[in-house]
């Protein structure tokens, strides 16, 4: 990061664009320290593509936003005694029982920040090393030591040898080959990754049966009990667990040991590959660890939040304290509480597997080379409907609202929704018909992605699985964890308050910052690669993602590959749903007008299919709100669901339900999925 910041003699705007074009995986382990030249090669190779233009636009928007924020900050500073504000924040950090809550609108929880620091639990974050690449090595040992990557079109991962050349996840293959022309690129073999993922997760579960699988190759464990029972130190236990994984699978894993999930995740990257790092379990050690840590290393602080924080001088977690007055004055924009908590190294230590009942939506989408012919678009829609049928039936879900999503060849995303007063049919013909109805008024279009998503879900397995006493069955953790896809997206709705962990810890900066993070998801769409400047077309694949709940914020790996990978289902014997009744349009139909009718329109009361709020607004505003909800809904798609064919090119995602406040509410994230 810092290296690219020093790129002379670029203007700030050019510099930020260079960094943006470099993609989200610039902090990956094993990469060359100086990425300046690499960033230039990437920018040069991307020039002229629609992707480049889109990134340029987004960079400009963000720059404007930053200018606005700085103006607001300067306004807020006027006539304010900064020393007094700093003193107040100090009291907040050091004397939690001080009475400044009301002045800064701080919650009771905030005031207890330091007092609530819990060092009693041993939390471990495990993350397989170069997972797809190392699985490939199992089957082809001759690759050992070679510079290779996995995933045609866009790379899913790269061997550590390749990373030295700047090659990494999410990088277009043709750009990677500019960095190292002899790069060997292997096709993805998702079935195999899934198989190995299951194996390693099963080993982790021996140490914590309640572990949370955060993605295909990573998870959180609480080993406190195991260590006590087996009279082991945390380091011994993790060493043993890593050895077991290597012995039984011939794959290596790195681990971080710390008092909470955020710290454990940061620590697991410290000694990658094939290493472990334990943080001392005392407040001083934790604070010292955070002091010089780049804010970008904090799970959930991505490129956009990084830029926003940098704009007010915050590059390290230690800088949070230095700039506490500005943060306090700009609390709404930056989230003082969350950032102070981060500065102190305080976060959730609650480890629990994903619960099925948190799902919010199920969807499928497909990315392709831009098309405008009506018949071709319908064909894609039909395919998506068929995929959705499969997943809804296999996973036992129906719902009441269907949202069509499409992305223009300019990368602009639109959504159109329709609600029903009965549970919709999961039959592909019916899903297709609804999608078509939503799509028709929009035509003609030139699009590169089409998707359908069903929300307001009903769990068709719920009744069957209910036990006396009303205990809902947990979603099979293997199923929720082993999908060979990564899709994660942090999301916060500003008006819903901060995103909270299961045990009530704030886990993100305020929502509007994520608007841009959300936009970054566009880079997940790989079609810009189909016609690399001067290169031959590269085919794209699409993806399927299902969520994992807990650890979402803690699992903020870059999203850029998610759409490229197919998925496999690990759920055991999915039950077939009973056929729901045929849908009938609801009077709260959310169907938006065709674009010809935009902007404006009659103000009416409408219910958002995503957040369920009733809103008085015209259709344009309403659609903008749905877009906002869909793109920012507090959900992550981190897991890929199953497809019987591992090379399938479809994409399906299931989202957890919207974030709620208060302890023991699940942390929610979503991936784009749209």
Is cis: bond before 120, omega within 30 of 0? no
Helix, strand and coil content of the chain, in percent to the nearest 5, comes to 40, 15, 45
Among 136, 173, 217, 507, the residue binding Mg ion under the rule CB under 5 A is 217
Of 15, 55, 127, 352, the residue at the interface with ligand TTP (CB under 6 A) is: 127
Helix (H) or strand (E) run with residue 359 in it? strand 359-371
585 binds, among ligand TTP, Mg ion, none (CB under 5 to 8 A by kind): none
Q: Is 130 in the site for ligand TTP (CB under 6 A)?
A: yes
The reply to whether 503 sits near Mg ion by the rule CB under 5 A is: no
For the CB of residue 272, give the shortest distance to Mg ion in the complex, in Å. 8
Kindly indicate which of the ranges 21-29, 104-112, 321-329, 602-610 contains the residues binding ligand TTP, using the contact rule CB under 6 A. 21-29
> Coil, strand, or helix at residue 656?
strand
> Which of 561, 630, 640, 642 forms a contact with ligand TTP (CB under 6 A)?
561
Note if 637 is an active site residue: no
What is the C-alpha radius of gyration for the chain, rounded to an integer number of angstroms?
A: 24
Convert 106-136 into a string of H (helix), E (strand) and C (coil): CCHHHHCCCCCCCCCCCEEEEEECCHHHHHH
The SS3 call for residue 605 is strand
Q: How many CB atoms lie within 10 A of CB 165?
A: 16
Which residue of 15, 217, 503, 518 would you call a contact of ligand TTP, by CB under 6 A? 217
Greatest Cα pair distance, the chain, in angstroms, is 70
- Residue tagged active-site, from 55, 218, 358, 523: 218
128 belongs to the binding site for Mg ion (CB under 5 A): yes
Terminal-to-terminal C-alpha distance of the chain: 30
Q: Which of 35, 49, 157, 571 binds ligand TTP (CB under 6 A)?
A: 157
Among 109, 169, 361, 556, binds ligand TTP (CB under 6 A): 169
Half-sphere exposure of 356 (CA within 13 A, CB side): 20
The three-point CA angle 582-634-303 to 5° equals: 135
| From the list Mg ion, ligand TTP, none, partner contacted by residue 268 (C-beta under 5 to 8 A by kind) | none
What string marks each residue from 230 to 269 as x (binds ligand TTP by CB under 6 A) or -?
----------------------------------------
Comparing CA positions, the residue from 541, 363, 353 lying closest to residue 435 is 363
Q: How far is the CB of 487 from ligand TTP (least distance, A)?
A: 8
550/474 Cα distance (integer angstroms): 13
Q: Does 273 bind ligand TTP (CB under 6 A)?
A: yes
Burial of 409 (0-12, 13-18, 19+ CB in 10 A): middle
Residue 569 as a binder of Mg ion (CB under 5 A): the answer is no
For residue 130, the minimal CB distance to ligand TTP (Å) is 4
From 131, 411, 414, 544, residue interacting with ligand TTP (rule: CB under 6 A): 131
**Measured from the CB of residue 305, what is the shortest distance to Mg ion in angstroms?**
22
Nearest CB to Mg ion, comparing residues 106 and 158: 158
- Structure-block tokens of residue 305: 């939040």
Region from 126-134, 311-319, 474-482, 623-631 binding Mg ion, contact rule CB under 5 A: 126-134
Residue 97, C-beta contacts closer than 8 angstroms, at least 6 positions apart: 111, 115
Asked whether position 560 contacts ligand TTP by CB under 6 A, the answer is yes
H or E stretch covering 614: strand 614-617
When asked if residue 385 is in the footprint of Mg ion (CB under 5 A), the reply is no
Residue nearest to ligand TTP (CB): 561
Q: Is 145 left (phi over 0), alpha (psi -120 to 50) or beta?
A: left
Give the strand pairing for 413-419 and 148-150: unpaired
Size of the site for ligand TTP (CB under 6 A): 24
Nearer to Mg ion, 272 or 659 (CB): 272
Tell me how far apart the alpha carbons of residues 68 and 630 are, in angstroms, rounded to a whole number. 25
CA distances from 11 to 14, 26, 538, 539 (A): 5, 20, 33, 35
Taking contact as CB under 6 A, which single stretch among the options 83-91, 100-108, 292-300, 553-561 is the one that binds ligand TTP? 553-561
Binding site residues, ligand TTP, CB under 6 A: 25, 28-29, 127-132, 156-157, 169-170, 216-218, 272-273, 486, 557-558, 560-561, 565
Binding site residues, Mg ion, CB under 5 A: 127-128, 131, 217
Active site residues: 218
């Amino acid at each position: 990061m810092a290296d690219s910041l020093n790129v002379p003699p670029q203007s700030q705007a050019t510099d930020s664009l260079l960094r943006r074009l470099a993609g989200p995986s610039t902090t990956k382990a094993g990469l060359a320290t100086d990425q300046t030249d690499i960033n230039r090669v990437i920018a040069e190779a991307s020039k002229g593509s629609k992707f480049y233009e889109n990134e340029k636009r987004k960079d400009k928007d963000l720059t404007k936003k930053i200018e606005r924020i700085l103006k607001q900050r300067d306004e807020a500073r006027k006539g304010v005694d900064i020393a007094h504000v700093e003193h107040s924040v100090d009291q907040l950090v050091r004397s939690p029982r001080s009475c400044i809550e009301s002045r800064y609108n701080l919650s009771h929880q905030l005031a207890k920040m330091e007092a609530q620091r819990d060092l009693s639990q041993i939390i471990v974050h495990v993350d397989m090393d170069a997972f797809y690449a190392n699985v490939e090595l199992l089957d082809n040992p001759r690759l050992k030591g070679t510079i290779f990557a996995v995933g045609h079109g866009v790379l899913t991962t790269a061997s550590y040898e390749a990373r030295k050349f700047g090659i990494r996840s999410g990088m277009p293959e043709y750009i990677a080959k500019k960095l190292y022309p002899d790069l060997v690129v292997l096709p993805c073999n998702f079935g195999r990754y899934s198989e190995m993922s299951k194996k390693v997760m099963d080993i982790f579960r021996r140490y914590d049966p309640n572990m949370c699988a955060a993605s295909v190759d990573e998870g959180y464990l609480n080993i406190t009990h195991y260590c006590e029972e087996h009279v082991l130190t945390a380091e011994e236990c993790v060493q043993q667990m890593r050895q077991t994984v290597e012995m039984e699978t011939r794959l290596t894993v790195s681990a971080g040991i710390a008092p909470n999930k955020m710290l454990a995740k940061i620590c697991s990257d410290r000694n990658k590959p094939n290493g472990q790092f334990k943080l001392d379990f005392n407040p001083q050690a934790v604070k010292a660890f955070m002091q010089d840590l780049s804010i970008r290393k904090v799970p959930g602080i991505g490129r956009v939040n990084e830029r926003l924080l940098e704009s007010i001088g915050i590059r390290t977690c230690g800088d949070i304290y230095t700039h506490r007055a500005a943060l306090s004055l700009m609390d709404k924009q930056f989230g003082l509480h969350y950032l102070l908590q981060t500065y102190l190294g305080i976060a959730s230590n609650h480890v629990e597997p994903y619960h099925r009942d948190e799902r919010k939506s199920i969807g499928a989408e497909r990315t392709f080379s831009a098309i405008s012919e009506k018949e071709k678009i319908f064909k894609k829609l039909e395919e998506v409907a068929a995929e959705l049928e499969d997943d809804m039936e296999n996973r036992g879900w129906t719902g009441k609202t269907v949202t069509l999503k499409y992305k223009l060849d300019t990368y602009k995303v639109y959504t159109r929704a329709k609600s029903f007063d009965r549970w919709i049919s999961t039959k592909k013909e019916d899903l297709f018909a609804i999608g078509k109805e939503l799509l028709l008024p929009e035509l003609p279009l030139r699009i590169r992605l089409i998707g359908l998503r069903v929300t307001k879900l009903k769990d068709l397995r719920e009744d069957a699985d209910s036990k006396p006493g009303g205990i809902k069955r947990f979603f099979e953790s293997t199923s929720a964890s082993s999908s060979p896809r990564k899709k994660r997206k942090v999301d916060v709705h500003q008006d819903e308050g901060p995103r909270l962990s299961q045990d009530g810890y704030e886990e993100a900066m305020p929502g509007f910052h994520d608007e841009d993070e959300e936009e970054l998801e566009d880079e997940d769409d790989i079609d810009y690669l189909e016609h690399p400047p001067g290169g031959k077309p590269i085919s794209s694949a699409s993806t399927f993602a299902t969520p994992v709940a807990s650890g979402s914020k803690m699992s903020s790996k870059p999203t850029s590959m998610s759409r490229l990978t197919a998925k496999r289902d690990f759920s055991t014997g999915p039950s077939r749903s009973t056929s729901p009744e045929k849908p009938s349009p609801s009077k709260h139909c959310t169907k938006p007008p065709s674009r010809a009718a935009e902007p404006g329109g009659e103000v009416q009361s409408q219910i958002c299919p995503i957040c369920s709020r009733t809103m008085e607004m015209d259709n344009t505003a309403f659609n903008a709100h749905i877009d906002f909800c869909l793109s920012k809904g507090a959900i992550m798609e981190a897991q890929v669901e199953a497809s019987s064919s591992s090379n399938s090119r479809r994409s399906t995602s299931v989202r957890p339900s919207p974030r709620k406040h208060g302890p023991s509410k699940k942390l929610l994230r979503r991936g784009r999925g749209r």
